[in-house]
């Protein structure tokens, strides 16, 4: 269970986001459920704790990039219903007095595609046909196409970043999460001079859904094609019920 390491529960951020609970925690961010005190609607507050561990100069540079990526997300989400909406962005003071950036996103009720697939396997439901898999993931493909036309790549396409609202086997809609985040985290890792591993994963992308160029730049640079490769892996997993890339560690993958 995620813990309130940033000690934000019960606090009100920016005089309008009352923090109610912790809903998830990763290597570089903690997600809280908060209530917009004026609109009386829930929002997701994503706080990027890992970006607070740098010098003041590097932190300022990362914060500037974070704001730019937030603006891109706001623009993309305004153009596509399949991209989670960015509502606000800002910086709060952490437990040690450091400035920590946060992003306010629309609150989603549902589950990630990763959780959906695990639940379907546990219930013994039949696998989807290729036609059904494409129909399910088509909104994500269209959202990526929109971003790619603008020269923007996601770089961390995986079932955990695809959110399902509604009945996965019936009437449902999908939302793509974490646009622009992988780039900021990757740049932060370059500043730190190393790749930070959390729970056996490189934080800027997920190895099980990584494209060749993410494992080694000898295969070329990352870009929109990286997302296409990862989306193809998801399609394969939805159809076969198995992760396409098999391996016990980073080197094997």
Q: Which of 56, 14, 55 is nearest to 35 (CA)?
A: 14
52/57 Cα distance (integer angstroms):
11
Contact yes or no for 154/178 (Cβ under 8 A): yes
Please tell me the number of Cα atoms within 13 Å of 95 on its side-chain side: 7
- The radius of gyration computed from the CA coordinates of the chain, to the nearest angstrom, equals 18
Contact yes or no for 199/207 (Cβ under 8 A): no
Contact yes or no for 87/106 (Cβ under 8 A): yes
**Candidate list 15, 75, 138, 156, residue with the active-site label:** 156
CB neighbours of 79 closer than 8 A, spacing ≥ 6?
A: 146
Helix (H, G, I), strand (E, B) or coil at 152: coil
Q: Is 156 a catalytic residue?
A: yes
Q: Which of 45, 5, 28, 22 is nearest to 205 (CA)?
A: 28
- Active site (catalytic) residues: 156
């Amino acid at each position: 269970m995620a813990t309130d390491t940033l000690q934000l529960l019960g606090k009100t951020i920016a005089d309008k986001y009352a923090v109610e609970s912790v809903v998830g925690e990763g290597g570089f961010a903690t997600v809280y459920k908060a209530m917009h005190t004026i609109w009386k609607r829930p929002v997701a507050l994503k706080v990027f704790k890992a970006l607070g561990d740098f010098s003041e100069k590097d932190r300022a540079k990362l914060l500037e990039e974070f704001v730019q990526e937030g603006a891109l997300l706001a623009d993309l989400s305004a153009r596509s219903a399949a991209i989670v909406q960015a509502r606000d962005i800002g910086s709060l003071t952490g437990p040690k007095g450091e400035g920590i950036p946060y992003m306010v996103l629309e609150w989603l009720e549902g589950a990630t595609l990763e959780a959906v697939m695990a639940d379907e396997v546990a219930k013994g439901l039949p696998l989807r046909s290729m036609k059904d898999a494409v129909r399910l993931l088509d909104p994500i493909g269209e959202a990526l196409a929109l971003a790619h036309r603008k020269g923007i790549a996601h770089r961390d396409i995986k079932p955990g970043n695809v959110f399902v609202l509604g009945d996965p086997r019936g009437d449902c809609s999908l939302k793509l999460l974490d646009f622009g985040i992988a780039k900021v985290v990757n740049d932060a890792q370059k500043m730190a001079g190393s790749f930070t591993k959390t729970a056996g994963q490189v934080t800027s992308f997920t190895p099980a859904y990584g494209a060749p160029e993410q494992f080694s730049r000898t295969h070329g640079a990352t870009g929109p094609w990286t997302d296409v490769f990862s989306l193809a892996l998801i399609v394969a997993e939805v159809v076969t019920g198995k992760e396409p890339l098999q391996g016990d560690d980073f080197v094997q993958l």
